[in-house]
Amino acid sequence: MGPTASGKTELAIALHQQVGAEIISVDSALVYRGMNIGSAKPCADELAKAPHRLIDIRDPSEPYSTAEFAADARREMEVIVASGKIPLLVGGTMLYFKTLLEGLADMPAADPAVRAQLDAEAQKYGWPYLHQQLQEVDPETAANLHPNHSQRISRALEVYRISGKPISECRQKNIGGLLDDYDWVQIAIAPRDRSILHQRISDRFEKMLELGLVDEVKALFDCPGLNADLPAIKAVGYRQVWDFLAGENSYEQMIDKGKAATRQLAKRQLTWLRSWAKVNWLYTQNETGKSLTSHEIVIKALRILDQTTI
């Protein structure tokens, strides 16, 4: 695990080669076909060295849920273990990791009719009005949501209208987690100095532009059936370039916003990891601030594996 641009893919490939682990991607952008540059998807040479499962399994027009990931990852883990090898899960989508380990909240499935009703109410009265409704039936959830956070307000009210229970209550009961089914070693890779991470993010975004990120998003932009509200297009980097192509930002603004959005993503990932239980931190700098070599990082990871699997 780790924030974006921290070196997860490079380490995962090295561990695949060192210990024969089979890689499962834990990334909500890598699942989409045609989204290679902006998602930092492993290149063909990297995939030839170390195949990644659960990448390129969806068209960008098809949303991919956390529940689907958990089911797919469970299946891939079972196949890998049955072959006598170790599953190596690598990525930065922290909600995917959390769901896989702890399970899904026991709550009702989506109901298109209820959602349509909520959308109609939002069109007529606005999302702050629905947020106020949520405040009356589930103040705990409402307190953590912005009045215009349409997707989460809609889901919370949908759950209440279907089940009669607040979504906060449903979340207290999780089912299907794998925490007790496997021996887990959890490693978080990151630089000690946040400024190093920010520089890596900036350099990588510039490199993505050189590799043709704008053309990649242009192909999506011109594709019938795709729009800015789809989860794939909301991915960091893609949304900013999409807005540029739509004429909402200048090229320079797109670059600034793309880098800023990526830094915010890294901040959220680090916040998740700081509260994570039983995580082993692997810093890519030593105590004096000097960056470690790729070989030194791999040695540190192998030592963590040795120490936590004895």
Q: Within this chain, do residues 45 and 137 fall inside the same structural domain, yes or no?
A: no
Do 17 and 128 belong together in one domain?
A: no
Residue at 21: amino acid letter? A
The residue out of 139, 155, 172 marking a domain boundary is 172
Select from 15, 187, 13, 29 the least CA-distant residue to 93.
29
Question: pTM surpassing 0.85?
Answer: no
In this structure, the answer to whether residues 46 and 156 fall within a common structural domain is: no
- State the average pLDDT over residues 252-274: 97
Coil, helix or strand for 69? helix
Q: Are residues 199 and 154 in the same domain?
A: no
Distance in angstroms (rounded) separating the CA atoms of residues 152 and 238 = 22
Angle 238-245/213-221 helices, nearest 10 degrees?
70
CA angle 306–307–308, rounded 5-degree value? 95
Last residue of a domain, one of 129, 154, 172: 172
Domain carrying residue 120: 112-172
Q: Is the domain of 265 the same as that of 165? A: no
Same domain, 194 and 258: yes
- Say if residues 30 and 235 touch (Cβ distance below 8 Å): no
CATH number, residue 119: 1.10.20.140
Nearest C-alpha neighbor of 101 from the set 145, 70, 124: 70
Which residues, in sequence order, are CB contacts of 89 under 8 Å at separation 6+? 23, 24, 26, 73, 97, 100
In this predicted model, what pLDDT tens digit does every residue of 152-170 receive, in sequence order? 999 999 999 999 999 988 8
Structure confidence by residue, pLDDT tens digits, 175-223: 789 999 999 999 999 999 999 999 999 999 999 999 999 999 999 999 9
Quick check: 36 and 216 in contact, CB under 8 A?
A: yes
- Provide the domain count of the chain: 2
Residues 181 and 233 reside in one and the same domain: yes
